[in-house]
Amino acid sequence: MSAMSEKLLSVQNLHTSFFTDSGEVQAVNGVSFDLDAGEILGIVGESGSGKSVTAYSVMRILADTGKIKEGRVLYKGQDLTTWSEKQMREFRGKCCSIIFQDPMTSLNPVFTIGNQLIEAITLHTNRRGKEAHDRAVELLEMVGINEPERRLKQYPFAHSGGMRQRVMIAMALACEPDILIADEPTTALDVTVQADIMDLLEDLKNTTNLSIILISHNLNMVTERSDRVMVMYAGRLMEIAETKEIVENPMHPYTIGLMNSLPDITQEGQKLTAIPGELPDLTSQKPGCAFCPRCSRAMPICSVEEPELR
């Protein structure tokens, strides 16, 4: 493979399962996608569709019962699924970082912001002492926090939710990763703060060539912010395309269903069209398209094999 054609991240036929008392939960079932340098890839889908497990598989931070059964996760051409835990610790932080929905549970309440940020810096870089401190200040400035010197001495509870999420982003960026995975990064925040955090992520992408995987069940937010969008359902990839394509010309009936279930803010009092039915049982998967039982446009072939999108 030439260096030119090498993708930053390439997930190929990923299968991830959890082995539980009630059987094997096939959480991710044959998902493939690429991530380019400097792009935002959105992942959308209903709760339980496998968005987080896809991200956790890339970072290899699955629960003990979870296992990547099949497939490859190529980072700059190298297969992470074969890496040792020691190599993965380097990967997490230096190559790829993740931020979660609730910044309060990710920050330790008994240490100052400075303690935690400087620890992240010294853990993953050669910076020590004043150099680490200065880097912490620089990171807080980068994520739009005023008076960073003062903020470093404060505890997490002294910060608003939006401020804490900015701190988490600063920690995630401490060792300049190529990839940031943002798993529902704004769900716990109110709407105006959500927009600020998303502006920040977009700015970072534009100024640092950071690639972002943006996970959310908020289709509006994802289509507004992403270069490409991937739609998941029951652990499978339903559709992946440029955002404009997905918005203007969704192909899969599930994507069309998701689009139709969006409230139209121009029409007051309009009801959400929910997609009838519920997610299938992930312990006993059948052949064919996973959405088939709920699809208003299903054809006999759909219960046999996944239809081609056209």
- Name the site residues for ligand ATP (rule: CB under 6 A): 18, 20, 25, 27, 45, 47-53, 63, 65-66, 217, 282
Closest distance between Mg ion and the C-beta of residue 182, in Å? Answer: 11
Identity of the residue, 48 or 93, whose beta carbon is nearer to Mg ion in the bound complex: 48
Is residue 16 at the binding interface for Mg ion, with CB under 5 A as the rule?
no
303 makes contact, choosing from ligand ATP, Mg ion, none, with CB < 5 to 8 Å by partner type, with none
State whether residue 163 is helix, strand or coil.
helix
Q: Which stretch binds Mg ion (CB under 5 A): 29-37, 49-57, 111-119, 299-307?
A: 49-57
Q: How far apart are CA 302 and CA 287, in angstroms?
A: 9
Burial of 248 (0-12, 13-18, 19+ CB in 10 A): exposed
Q: How far apart are CA 34 and CA 44, in angstroms?
A: 16
Is residue 54 at the binding interface for Mg ion, with CB under 5 A as the rule?
no
63 makes contact, choosing from Mg ion, ligand ATP, none, with CB < 5 to 8 Å by partner type, with ligand ATP
| Alpha helix (H) residue ranges in the chain | 51-59, 85-94, 103-106, 113-124, 129-142, 148-152, 161-172, 191-208, 219-225, 243-248, 253-260
Burial of 218 (0-12, 13-18, 19+ CB in 10 A): middle
Closest distance between ligand ATP and the C-beta of residue 175, in Å? Answer: 26
Identity of the residue, 10 or 101, whose beta carbon is nearer to ligand ATP in the bound complex: 101
Tokens of 47: 């709760």
Identity of the residue, 53 or 96, whose beta carbon is nearer to ligand ATP in the bound complex: 53
Identity of the residue, 142 or 258, whose beta carbon is nearer to Mg ion in the bound complex: 258
Is residue 52 at the binding interface for Mg ion, with CB under 5 A as the rule?
yes
- What does the binding site for Mg ion look like in residue numbers (CB under 5 A)? 52
